[in-house]
């Protein structure tokens, strides 16, 4: 296994996605495995308005939570995010936003070899800085931070036409029957759901490596 292809099904506003992403990268480093990351879109709230919704209102409406439940959730989330080296600042991250344009930008970034850096910048922008990642001007500012072509990115973000390749990615996620994020697809085959621990991912990669060696031995014997 010279290079592992990892397709991450994620949403930009998903609290557990950056934790899973960080843990999986840590496991790869520990095993000295090089990975080629790609990102597939999953919208947790596709019908959310562009103005977004406060996190408190979101959980009150959908889960019936009051302030005690919300505070307990934040505490448990931060307890996992800290060891994963994921910064979440709830004094700034106050809203959930519609993530369609951020996903469209991620799709555009893939063909410009900027997808993984953009994912990491979006994590910082939304979870640490609390920026509105549905706002075109803010997204273009992130492109500028990465040294990308803002004019090209702007055309993508302002277009009323859905890129057919982006639509195919969305369809693929539906066909994979992925119902929660994050989920990870390894070399187009094995799929693991959940943010999981570093140890969990390390064990999963070890099994993949062992299976890869067995396949090589079988091919060599057969030849």
CATH code for the domain of 14: 3.40.30.10
pLDDT higher than threshold 70 for residue 75: yes
CA–CA gap between residue 53 and residue 137 (Å, rounded): 19
pLDDT tens digits, 160-173: 999 999 999 999 99
- Residues 73-101 have a mean pLDDT of 97
pLDDT higher than threshold 90 for residue 208: no
- The answer to whether the predicted template modeling score (pTM) of the entire model surpasses 0.75 is yes
Range of the domain at 198: 4-222
Q: What angle do CA 192, 193, 197 make, to 5 degrees?
A: 85
What confidence tier does 177 reach under pLDDT thresholds 50, 70, 90?
Answer: confident
**β-bridge pairing 4-10 and 35-41:** parallel
What count of other Cβ atoms lies within 10 Å of the Cβ of residue 175? 8
Q: C-alpha 199: how far from its chain's center? A: 20
pLDDT at 210: 83
Q: Which of 42-51, 105-114, 124-133, 207-216 has the lowest mean pLDDT?
A: 207-216
Number of domains comprising the chain:
1
- Residues 96-125 have a mean pLDDT of 98
């Amino acid at each position: 296994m010279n290079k592992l292809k990892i397709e991450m099904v994620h949403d930009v506003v998903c609290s557990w996605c950056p934790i899973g992403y960080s843990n999986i990268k840590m496991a790869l480093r520990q095993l000295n495995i090089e990975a080629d990351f790609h990102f597939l879109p999953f919208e947790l709230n596709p019908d959310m308005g562009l103005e977004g919704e406060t996190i408190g209102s979101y959980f009150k409406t959908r889960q019936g939570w009051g302030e005690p439940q919300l505070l307990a959730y934040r505490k448990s989330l931060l307890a996992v995010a800290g060891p994963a080296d994921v910064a979440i600042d709830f004094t700034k991250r106050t809203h959930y936003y519609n993530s369609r344009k951020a996903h469209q930008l991620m799709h555009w970034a893939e063909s410009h070899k900027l997808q993984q850096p953009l994912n990491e910048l979006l994590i910082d922008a939304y979870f640490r800085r609390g920026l509105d990642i549905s706002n075109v001007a803010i997204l273009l500012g992130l492109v500028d931070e990465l040294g990308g072509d803002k004019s090209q990115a702007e055309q993508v973000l302002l277009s009323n036409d859905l890129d057919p390749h982006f639509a195919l990615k969305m369809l693929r996620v539906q066909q994979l029957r992925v119902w929660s994020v994050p989920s990870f697809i390894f070399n187009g085959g094995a799929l693991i759901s959940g943010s999981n621990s570093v140890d969990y991912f390390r064990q999963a990669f070890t099994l993949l490596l062992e299976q890869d060696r067995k396949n090589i031995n079988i091919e060599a014997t057969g030849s």
